[in-house]
Amino acid sequence: MLLSLQVKNLALIEEAEISLSNGLNIITGETGAGKSIMIGAVNLALGKKVNSDIIQAGKEYAYVELVFLIDEKKNQALKLIDVYADEFNQVIISRKIFQGRNVCKINNETVTVSFVKQVTSILIDIHGQHEHQSLLYKSKHMEIIDRYAEVQISQIKDRVLKSYEEYKAFEKLLKSFNGDESERQRKKDFLSFEINEIEQANIKPNEERELEVLYKKIGNKRKIASALSLVHTGLAESNENILYNLGKFIKELTEVSNYDENILEIKKQLEDSEAILSGASYEISSYIDNLEVNEELVFETEKRLDLIRSIFLKYGQGYDILTNVLGEKKKELDTLINYEERKKETLEQFELIKQKFEAICEELSFKRKEAAVKLCKEIEYGLTELNFMNVELGYSYNKLNTPTNNGFDDIEFVISTNSGEVKKPLAQIASGGELSRIMLAIKTVLAEGDNIPSLIFDEIDTGISGRTAQMVAEKLVIISKFRQVICITHLPQIAAMADAHFVIEKAVIEKGTRTQVNRLNETESISELARLMGGSVITEALLGHAKEMKVMADNTKMQLRK
């Protein structure tokens, strides 16, 4: 469940924290007080796209933090994606938004927005204020069915996708056989030229590297010879060379060493140096004598390197890549030479792949239809609990002429809200309030399948009132028996059912408008119910009515949660 929501410097909210409860959490407030900001804050933490203008004026950043309490089942699910709760079985998700960038963290470890979405999809589901409008689009219906049947069809959908990619690849290959004879001849000639050019080059594995090493050595022999000659001259050939001077130094020290034994050690060090330098001089002299600059070898090596590099530049860097390219070009040339035979083979392969793809699509379609029947029954039952008295829900099915990577199904929910009426698409039948209740029923069914621990409903009461509002309130109570529900509402019938009641209101602080969030006690909750019931002036009679509604709601909750 969601333990708490903390917000800083977000739009009108300077700082707010809500500690949420089990059961049904209700958030109310005047229109424009900032309820949408709170839901927006949750969406931001869950990875929704962000604009930097949400940062409060004059502040460096905005910050949102969600703290979830995780049970063992969810803990195991999160471990599969390498997310681990802390010692208190909590997962803390935060997002810090700066101008031009933002930082997401899970338990203080920086993660990507996409990963946050993956994690939070296990923990919470939000029914947005206008989400029910998506039911007007058929694509949403397929998405709902697939989510409901995820366990049964996820592997089949993976196979469909893989088979579709193979199908499209062969379809593209088959289209390549549609060129005219002159175009094929031009291609054959060009491929033959390219193959011949690569084969004539006769490049060996590691040849480029080996030639680079050789060229580096032979191409710089002049520099090597010049450097060695300079050193050899300084050591042994100049008038005052190092070895000559060392000999003089040793002779001088020999003459005075009889006067001081300490000089013998210095003399020995010079004699050692003379021996080392004499050896180096001999080695240098021998190296110079054997050093021969082969201009022809330099030229041939340079020429070979240029050829190899030009081939690599043209066809692909490296011997392995070049080998693969050569193989592909030979294969393509063989196809052109044996055009009719290869075309026939490709067509036969394409037909087999197409049959395989269609078979997997049929399998997926069967599972979808099977799931759709069950789902419609469950949604239909949920709708009767939301004051749809004679509702019938089903689906219409069409097979797409052109299959996609999601199969060839075209499915749309159809509904009849009055006895004896023919079922028609939702877009033709349902009002805004009806769509809202249908989405609530769908969310309830999906949440039961997903076992999502926290559900947020943003103004689920759109377009409803009276008895229907009461039934929606009771439905929310039933859902909250098994999982945490957070609901923003304008209706007193729903607010009266709250296990925890929060009010969002604006206040003028230091000549600025700020949004505040407060948890209400029972007396305050009754006053808020009176306001929701339409009292511009809260009278004793209105308070009495609100108190009676609260008592009735508490009794209803007890009955529903038995």
Rounded Cα gap, residues 179 and 347, in angstroms: 15
The side-by-side arrangement of strands in the sheet containing 2-10 is: 13-19, 2-10, 62-69, 90-98, 101-106, 109-111
**Domain 1-129+459-562, second-level architecture:** 3-Layer(aba) Sandwich (3.40)
Examine the pLDDT at 16 and tell me if it is beyond 90: no
Which residues are registered as beta bridge partners of 8? 15, 63
Query: When comparing pLDDT for 450 and 65, which is higher?
Result: 65
pLDDT for residue 10: 86
pLDDT band at 24 (very low <50, low <70, confident <90, very high): very high
Higher pLDDT, 367 or 469: 367
DSSP state of 405: B
pTM of the model: 0.63
pLDDT grade, residue 3 (50/70/90)? very high
Q: What residues contact residue 541 under an 8 Å CB cut-off, 6+ apart?
A: none
Burial of 176 (0-12, 13-18, 19+ CB in 10 A): exposed
Distance in angstroms (rounded) separating the CA atoms of residues 447 and 480: 11
Q: How far apart are CA 108 and CA 95, in angstroms?
A: 10
Mean pLDDT along residues 200-218: 86
What's the CA gap between 424 and 394, in Å, rounded? 9
Check residue 267 and give its pLDDT: 82
| pLDDT(536) > 80 | no
Residue 444 CB partners (closer than 8 Å, separation 6+): 382, 475, 479
CA angle 102, 106, 108 (to 5 degrees): 85
Report strand pairing: 454-458 vs 124-127.
Answer: parallel
Hey, what amino acid is at 97? I
Mean model confidence pLDDT for the chain: 86
DSSP helix/strand/coil, 396: strand
pLDDT-derived band at 535, boundaries 50, 70, 90: low
Strands 484-488 and 454-458: parallel
Residue 131 — pLDDT band, cuts 50, 70, 90?
Answer: low
Instruction: Report which of residues 183 and 386 the model is more confident about.
Output: 386
Domain segments of the chain as ranges: 1-129+459-562, 179-337
Judge contact between 148 and 449, C-beta under 8 A: yes
pLDDT in tens, 318-356: 888 999 999 989 988 887 777 777 788 888 888 999 999
pLDDT digits (tens, 9 = 90+) for 94-127: 999 988 888 999 999 999 999 998 898 888 888 7
Residue 410: pLDDT band (50, 70, 90) is very high
Kindly report the length of the chain.
562
547 vs 344: which has the higher pLDDT: 547
User: How big, in percent rounded to 5, are the helix, strand and coil portions of the chain?
Assistant: 60, 20, 20
Contacts of 65 (CB under 8 A, 6+ apart): 4, 5, 6, 7, 45, 92, 93, 94, 95
Q: What is the spatial order of strands in the sheet that 454-458 belongs to?
A: 124-127, 454-458, 484-488, 24-28, 500-509, 512-519
Please write the tens of the pLDDT for every residue from 247-279. Answer: 888 888 887 877 777 888 888 888 888 888 888
What is the rounded distance in angstroms from the CA atom of residue 509 to the CA atom of residue 95?
Answer: 26
pLDDT at 512: 63
